[in-house]
């Protein structure tokens, strides 16, 4: 309970680190292993007993899996508070493209980080789909019904069964096909930098 090192500038580094760490669900020891900093040093940082050096700040951010700016900026952009949107089964907004029938979920909320959808994959052949799609962001897919083939630019095609899930960078060209005789169904979440108020880029273009 002596000097306080980190919060001399009015920024409570220790508290921020502690918050980021618990938010990531990590223990001090795990962060230590992932960052290469000793557990004792991390403990001292969190209690503002120690001001980490440049090198250790970089390592610490790596260990926490965050961007370095998180450890400095008081300039956090204010996220919307307390919104909630419910979509009952079958009650989303339907969009039909060449390869998919999309049901956009929770589309009454704008400026959200993620766009959830359900999709029925109607294409069964690569040529029905056309060129692979690529755009900024990342995607998660869960197979709800049927079997799904995921084509990507840098990987061999892979087939997913019901309950399987996949995560990929959508900067990489990609396409989803039904692998079975019937149309497949998936739950699909896209995240991009900007607010995606609408669907992601759809395969009808090009």
For the segment 51-110, give every residue that binds DNA (CB under 7 A): 51-53, 55-56, 98
Q: Is 146 an interacting residue with respect to a second copy (CB under 8 A)?
A: no
Find the part of the chain contacting DNA (CB under 7 A) among 48-56, 66-74, 110-118, 177-185: 48-56
Q: Which is nearer to DNA, 39 or 173 (CB)?
A: 39
Query: Which of 12, 93, 128, 169 is in the footprint of a second copy by CB under 8 A?
Result: 169
C-alpha to C-alpha distances, 155 to 14, 149, 159, 174, nearest whole angstrom? 42, 12, 12, 10
Find the part of the chain contacting a second copy (CB under 8 A) among 87-95, 122-130, 175-183: 87-95
Query: Which of 38, 69, 73, 85 is in the footprint of DNA by CB under 7 A?
Result: 38
Query: Which of 67, 96, 131, 182 is in the footprint of a second copy by CB under 8 A?
Result: 67
Shortest distance, position 68 Cβ to DNA, whole Å: 14
Chain positions 13 to 32 lying near DNA, rule: CB under 7 A, are 27-29
Instruction: Provide the 3-class DSSP secondary structure of residue 150.
Output: strand
Give just the sign of the alpha carbon dihedral 119, 120, 124, 129. Answer: negative
C-alpha to C-alpha distances, 186 to 7, 14, 87, 161, 197, nearest whole angstrom? 48, 42, 16, 10, 20
Shortest distance, position 23 Cβ to a second copy, whole Å: 6
Query: In the sheet that 148-152 helps form, which strands lie side by side, from edge to edge?
Result: 158-160, 148-152, 174-178
78 alpha-carbon distance from chain centroid: 19
Shortest distance, position 40 Cβ to DNA, whole Å: 3
Find the part of the chain contacting DNA (CB under 7 A) among 37-45, 71-79, 152-160, 173-181: 37-45
Give just the sign of the alpha carbon dihedral 122, 160, 112, 84. Answer: positive
Cβ atoms of 103 and 94 closer than 8 Å: yes
Query: Which of 43, 47, 49, 70 is in the footprint of a second copy by CB under 8 A?
Result: 70
Number of residues that make up the chain: 206
Contact residues: DNA, CB under 7 A: 3, 5, 27-29, 36-41, 43-47, 49-53, 55-56, 98, 204
């Amino acid at each position: 309970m002596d000097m306080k090192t980190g919060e001399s500038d009015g920024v409570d580094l220790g508290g921020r680190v502690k918050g980021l760490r618990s938010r990531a669900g990590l223990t001090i020891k795990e962060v230590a292993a992932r960052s290469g900093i000793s557990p004792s040093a991390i403990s001292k940082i969190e209690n503002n007993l120690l001001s980490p050096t440049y090198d250790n700040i970089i390592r610490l951010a790596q260990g926490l899996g965050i961007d370095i700016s998180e450890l400095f900026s008081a300039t956090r952009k204010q996220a919307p508070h307390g919104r909630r949107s419910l979509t009952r089964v079958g009650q989303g907004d339907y969009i039909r493209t060449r390869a998919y029938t999309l049901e956009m979920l929770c589309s009454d909320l704008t400026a959200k980080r993620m766009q959830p959808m359900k999709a029925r994959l109607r294409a069964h052949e690569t040529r029905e789909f056309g060129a692979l799609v690529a755009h900024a962001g990342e995607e998660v897919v869960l197979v709800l019904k049927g079997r799904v083939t995921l084509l990507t630019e840098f990987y061999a095609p892979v087939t997913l069964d019901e309950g399987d899930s996949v995560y990929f960078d959508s900067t990489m060209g990609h396409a989803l096909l039904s692998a079975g005789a019937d149309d497949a169904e998936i739950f699909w979440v896209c995240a991009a930098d900007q607010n995606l108020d609408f669907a992601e880029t759809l395969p009808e273009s090009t």
